[in-house]
Each structure stands twice: as C-alpha cells, then as structure tokens.
Amino acid sequence: MPRINKDRVLSDLRTLRSFGAYKTGVHRPTLSEPDVAAREWFANRLREAGLDAEIDGVANILGRSRTNGKKALSGSHLESQNYSGWLDGALGCVYALEAARAIAEDPATADLGVDVVVFCDEEGHFGSFLGSRSFVGLLDEKEIDDAADRATGMTMREGLAKAGWSGRPRFLIDPSRYAAFFEAHIEQGDTLESGGGAIGVVTAIVAIWQYRITVTGEQNHAGTTSMKRRRDAGREMIRLLAAIDARLAQAAGERSVWTTGRVTLEPGEKSIIPGKAEALFQFRDADPAVLERMEAALREEIARAGREGRCEVALERLSASKPASMDEGLQAALDAAAEKSAPGRHIRMPSGAGHDAQWLAPKLPTAMMFVPSINGISHHWSENTSDDDIVLGAQVFADAIVNALRR
C-alpha cells in the first residue's frame, strides 16, 4: 500500500499558506492575486507529480492521470474565506495531490490513477459553488457574466481576464472515466475532537433551507402610543422567533441545527416603535423527513403569529437544497483505511457544512473524509488541525482511494 510523504504534505500546505498569509491563516479570496498565484503554483505541483494539469475558463484546475482504467477523482478548493483559516479547502487539495503521488510511487498501486481537481469559489465570493457546478454542467455563461465579488465588486470576468484565463473552455466531468469522487476537509466542528476521533467518515452532506421572515406593523412614537394600540413589529418578531425556536426544539432531529443569523428592526431608533422587522432564518439536516417536519413547524408558527398577533407576518423561502448522501461502499472503504491507521478512532457523521462534493454526488459515487478542527473553530484565521492529525488523515485518505479502486 502507498506510503504518504509526511514532510511533503506539511511543506505543501505551508507553501499554500504563504499565498495571502494573514496571522496564522490566509486571506485568499477567489481570483485575488494570491489566489491566482496559488492556482498557478498548484497546477505546476500537479505537473511535477506527472499529471496533465490545466486551469480552465472558470479557474477550475484539473490534473489528469495518464494511467489506464477507471480512476478516482479527488480534490477540494483553494480560495479561502476573507481573513480565514489555512486548511479550509487547501487540505483537501493537498491530500488529493499526495494520494496521486503516493499511489503512483508505490509499484503495487502504480497502475491506479487519481485525477486531482480544484474547484473555484467554493467559498462563495462570486456566487454559489460556481466551480463545482461548472464541472458538473450546471452553470451557464450568463451567471459568470453577472458574478461580482461581494466584498470588492470586481467582476468574475475581470478577475479571469487579469489571471489570463479568459476565453478558455471549461472542464466538464466525464463520469465514465471515474469510479469515485473523494473529498477531504477539516471538520469545522468539534464532533471528532470531543469524541476522541481522528477521522470522520461522512454519511451525508446536510441540506440547508433558508427563509426570510417579515413582520409588518405600524411605526409610531414609543412614548405616546399605548401598549394596547401599538402594532409593534419588533415585539411580534421577538415573540415569533422565540416561539419558532421552542417549536423546532421539538420538531428537529438529533443532529438538526437552526439559526437566526440576522434580525433588523426599522427604523432601529430607541424611541420609535418598529414598523417593520425582518429576520434571516435557516435550518439544516441530512434527513428529508426531518427537513419537512421542521418546515411544517415553522409554517405553523408563522400562521399562528399572523392569526393571533396584531401584525402581518410573511415567510419567504430563499433556498432549499437537497441532502447529498455519500456512497455506502466508499464509506466502508474509508472505515477500513481508518481502522488500519487509527483503530477505533473513526466516526461516521453527517457534514453540517456544504461542500463541492454535494454537486459531484449525483454524478459519481462520492465520499468525504474529515480531520479534526482544534476547538471546532472554522471560518477564522485561528482555525487549525494538529500536524499529527494532518499526516494521519493523508495516509487514511490515500489508502481509502486504493481500497475503492481495488474493490
């Protein structure tokens, strides 16, 4: 079986950290100068590993193996969130690269092929999963035309032109070429750490259902308007959100999460009764039945508030993705690889975050593997994973790919 090269894995990750270094993390937004440089560097690294690597017209990178037979496809993303962690995305790219190298270097597995893919903009600076959606044929040119960086305003077309990648064709998946897609990622939570686990074998990527709740009352003077007369949109929103939270605690599954990310009262002055209130609300679960149950509970609470309160209450569903199930055979391949290197320290778990793998899952048998996040921290420059866990994860990942290709 292949032996991964520990120093090479850590060195590649540290080199990637130098592109847009920020404190102990990175600031490497999609198509920023450090991101373009990181992509060029990574494509060269793929070529040094013997892969035919190119960057396409949406900044995806594909490194093709020259072996015969069904190959594994593996990868993740290279850009970071703004001022964020060094491993989010980069780890999965380097694991894929290292698996391709280690498998090619071992005579016993040199017949097996690993294509390495790097998807553009998983972090959503320009849109929603533009790279992986492009790769599976679900992105039209119009969406690229319209895309602009949310923070800087730079259009995606400008960014691609600056990088010299304008007008290139975009890679499209050839499902007949692959036996499986494998993505590794940091967990971004503390399930592994708190359970003493070193490897997470992902069962499914949860669906995210997002909503805007709007309460419309009557703006008025906070001193002269009696409690009986007022139609306080803020008060109604607070009661409604508290009721929704209590209700979802009943309707939710064991692993469900729900979050009110934003509440806005208008006009937001201390002596004015809010005439309007808006909230962004979401929940996540891997089980369609649980998702439906949570939405029904939400809709009932909205209807009740509209019926019993003194304001108009409206619910708008902003998005509702489908849970992406991971392939059972590939989960077994990950279990077996993990049991070999970290006996008893691997856990099956859903992914609460979205990943490029959810777009590959309808096209190929797909697997995801997690390594622990220290203190469960993610989307912050202090995000980290111990070197030991990084190295262990790289070995398990390469072994699992071999297991999958050999079965």
Q: Per rule CB under 8 A, is residue 274 in the interface with its own copies?
A: yes
Residue whose token pair is 């009110």: 260
Report phi then psi at 310, rounded to 5: -115, 15
Q: Per rule CB under 8 A, is residue 325 in the interface with its own copies?
A: no
Contact 13, 85 (CB under 8 A): no
DSSP classification of residue 165: -
Closest separation in Å from C-beta 400 to its own copies: 22
Segment 282 to 311, residues that bind its own copies, using CB under 8 A: 282, 284
Residues 6 or more apart from 35 whose CB is under 8 A from it? 19, 20, 28, 29, 78, 79
Segment 330 to 359, residues that bind its own copies, using CB under 8 A: 351-354
Window 229-258: contact mask with its own copies (x via CB under 8 A)? xx-x-xx--xx-xx--x------x--xxxx
Q: Per rule CB under 8 A, is residue 272 in the interface with its own copies?
A: yes
Q: Per rule CB under 8 A, is residue 317 in the interface with its own copies?
A: no
Give the separation between CA 82 and CA 216, rounded to whole angstroms: 35
Window 73-92: contact mask with its own copies (x via CB under 8 A)? --------------------
Residue whose token pair is 């003493």: 196
Q: What angle do CA 61, 66, 71 make, to 5 degrees?
A: 75
What are 209's strand-pairing partners? 283, 320
Which CB sits closer to its own copies, 39 or 284?
284
DSSP classification of residue 155: B
Q: Could you tell me which stretch among 36-44, 159-167, 188-196, 334-342 binds its own copies (CB under 8 A)?
A: 188-196
Pairing of strands 21-22, 25-26: antiparallel
Residue 332's CB is within 10 A of a number of other CB atoms, namely: 16
Q: 396's torsion region: left (phi>0), alpha (psi -120 to 50) or beta?
A: alpha
Give the separation between CA 95 and CA 122, rounded to whole angstroms: 17
Among 18, 166, 194, 386, contact with its own copies (rule: CB under 8 A):
194
Which CB sits closer to its own copies, 158 or 278?
278
Among 67, 128, 225, 325, contact with its own copies (rule: CB under 8 A):
225
Among 44, 166, 259, 386, contact with its own copies (rule: CB under 8 A):
259
In the numeric block, which tokens belong to residue 115?
């294509």
Which CB sits closer to its own copies, 282 or 341?
282
Residue whose token pair is 């999958």: 404
Site for its own copies (CB under 8 A): how many residues?
59
Which CB sits closer to its own copies, 105 or 218?
218
Among 68, 176, 250, 271, contact with its own copies (rule: CB under 8 A):
271
In the complex, the residues that contact its own copies under the rule CB under 8 A are 187-191, 194, 206, 208, 210, 219-227, 229-230, 232, 234-235, 238-239, 241-242, 245, 252, 255-265, 268-274, 280, 282, 284, 351-354, 376-380
